[in-house]
A and B are shown apart, each in its own frame.
Chain A
Amino acid sequence: MRFFGENLSCVRGERLVFSGLDFAVEPGTALVLTGSNGSGKTSLLRVMAGLTRPTEGQLAWDDGPISDDPENHHRRLHFVGHLDALKPVLSVHENLDIWARLQGGIEKKIASALKKLMLEGFENIPGRYLSAGQRRRLSLARLAASDAPLWLLDEPTIALDAPSVAAVRSLIAEHRTNGGMAVIATNVDLGIADTTTLNLLDFTASNEDIWEGVT
């Protein structure tokens, strides 16, 4: 099943972030979003997730636009943004457990997700004692703890050390082998093979103020 967007534009705070943007993700492929800071990578990811509505254009799966059935769209995606969605008072396992179960994950997958992200042995540590890298890994463990075909990742490797970056890389590779798709916003080369790149700067219309020229 393909996920695509047509003629998307996004306005944030009276500023046109991007316009006329088309994209399509096929099963087994990865789309990398690049562009300088403030070029709209996060905005595009949030539009794709359905958190922000595009000012123009529409997003759709092969079986219909996401606006027809937002809950169904949400069931098909994982979104890992800048914020970790972790509670300091809950343990590592409890933190992952709630999000995984909401997405239909099961206990066995939760345990294996913690293993894949090298958080084994930390299950009972409260969230407040985790380092930035560990928090990031726990946040990424959501990807492996329950199944969803579309992964939307915003700078997934921030604060991660080299072995963790490799773990994330193999996680994405495994997901793609199983027919999953990934959209990754990043400014560093993650070393993921065979990706399509979308440079947001091609659609930014020089980030001009939309009220410019209107007198």
Chain B
Amino acid sequence: MSALTLILHREIRLALRQISDSAIIVLFFVLAAVLFPFGVGPEPNMLARMAPGVVWVTALLAAMLSFERLFTPDYEDGSLEQLALGPAPLEMVAIAKAAAHWLTTGLPLMIAAPLIAVLYRLPDAGYGALITTMALGTPTISLIGTVGAALTLGSRRGGVLLSLLVIPLIIPVLIFGTAAIDAAISGFAVGQHLMLMGGFLLGALVLTPLATAAALRQALE
């Protein structure tokens, strides 16, 4: 087995042993989304209009909660030192961490998103775009989140700082994610939105492991 699959295997095993951590994130996502109709009223047309934005914003906020746990336990118990001293470069560790984060957080959020859309009576034409944008956007969020988590490693009150660092960077994902769903509902082409989101994902895939590895090296010094 290559180092990448070994690290991925370890991360997933750890996540499954602490399944409540992932469950809490999804539960937060559902609860936060369910709160909106109580605040704005149960008018069906308005809820359907709000659906894409609510799903995306609450998914982002739920993901924010999960980033602090990405490196902190490994940093505190010395596992990060061992990963850094392993035969795999830290860039590969960063990719494995982001992939494991997506599998244990992004994927569950993606699965829960259509359920929330049903609650909001999202028009049928929007579901395809919702799932596709989630599939393209959640890995981007995981990748950018690993950079933020690595940068704030070892700092006190890192969680707040992490949100301040990561949220501005994932605004484009939010803009094009909701725009694609709106376009699909109104019968416009969604291709360009999806292509832009694919571009963000590819860019993040190339750049974020480098940034994460550099930040981890700094944290370990």
Contact = CB atoms under 8 A, between A and B. Distances in A.
Interface of A: 49-53, 71, 74-75, 77, 79, 81-87, 89-90, 94, 98-99, 101-104
B27 interface: no
B69 interface: no
Interface string B189-221: 000000000000000000000000000000011
A57 B69 CA distance: 37
A148 to B, nearest CB: 10
B108 interface: no
Nearest to B74: A85
B172 interface: no
A72 B24 CA distance: 41
Given A51-B220, A74-B85, A84-B78, A101 B17 contact: no
Contact of B81 (A79, A90, A94, A104): A79
A127 to B, nearest CB: 10
A71 B83 CA distance: 11
Contact of B85 (A53, A79, A86): A79
B3 interface: yes
A85 B221 contact: no
Interface string B1-25: 1010011001001100110000000
Contacts of A71: 87-89
30 contacts: A50-B85, A51-B84, A51-B85, A52-B221, A74-B84, A74-B85, A74-B86, A74-B87, A79-B82, A79-B85, A82-B78, A83-B76, A83-B78, A85-B77, A85-B79, A85-B81, A85-B82, A86-B77, A87-B14, A89-B14, A89-B17, A89-B18, A90-B13, A94-B13, A98-B10, A101-B1, A101-B6, A102-B6, A102-B82, A102-B86
Contacts of B87: 71, 74-75, 102-104
Q: Which residue of B77, B78, B84, B85 has the most chain A CB atoms within 10 A of its CB atom?
A: B85
Interface in B136-156: none
Contacts, number: 63
A77 B86 CA distance: 9
B16 to A, nearest CB: 9
Given A75-B87, A85-B79, A102-B87, A90 B6 contact: no
A81 B80 CA distance: 12
Give the one of A82, A103, A104 with max B CB within 10 A. A103
Contact of A81 (B3, B14, B76, B81): B81
Nearest to B86: A102
Interface in B33-54: none
Nearest to A91: B17
Interface in B85-130: 85-89
A87 B86 contact: no
A101 B220 CA distance: 23
B85 A90 contact: no
A51 B6 contact: no
Contact of B78 (A49, A75, A81, A94): A81
Nearest to A86: B77
Given A53-B221, A90-B14, A84 B86 contact: no
B219 to A, nearest CB: 11
Nearest to A75: B87
